[in-house]
Amino acid sequence: MPKWLWTDRIFRFDFPVEKWPDLLERVRGTPARIEERIAGLSKEVLTRIPDGGGWSIQRNLGHLVDLGYLAKTRIAQILSGEMTLVAADMANVKTNEAVHDALEIAALLVAFREDRADLVATLESMTSADWGKSALHPRLKTPMRIVDIAYFDSEHDDYHLGRIGELLRRPS
């Protein structure tokens, strides 16, 4: 698996807030990209654990579902004037304890699509001024605007799409 972990990433939130329409479309499009990437794969391929450990394709998707609450919670915190955002569980307890591999892939895909549709609806309800409001991200120790949340979530989705791609490129 990758030597470059999600937690090794450095984020610079220095792009203009006017980038929000592009990021909104990126968030909106992730379910379709995941569905296309894994269409037709067998349960065996979807649930195969890589040599040396790690998450299966299905568990990577389940992880994105598990974290769906985070962006919406952080947006609500910013809009209510809180100064610091809720921290993510960096130990991934929910994902590690879940039985994502026992589920049908269709159920995970529906849950992910519904979660992202809810996030898109939240983002579409923002005013132009809302997109620039911010609070402190607890791990990164930097202000995070709502537009940055859309970017951060999209980057996290793409990170896991990358892990799925790596799993598909490995010989069985």
Name the DSSP letter for residue 130: G
Characterize the bridge pairing of strands 142-145 and 134-137: antiparallel
Report which DSSP code applies to 89: -
Tokens of 131: 């997109």
Question: How far is 10 from 70, CA to CA, in rounded Å?
Answer: 19
Torsion of CA 146, 151, 156, 157, to 10 degrees: 110
- Helices (H) and strands (E) counted in the chain, each on its own, are 7, 2
pLDDT digit of tens for each residue in the chain (172 aa)?
456 677 677 888 999 999 999 999 999 999 999 999 999 999 999 999 988 888 999 999 999 999 999 999 999 999 999 999 999 988 888 898 899 999 999 999 999 999 999 999 999 999 999 999 999 999 999 999 999 999 999 999 999 999 999 999 886 5
CATH class of 19-169: mainly alpha
Domain boundaries, the chain: 19-169
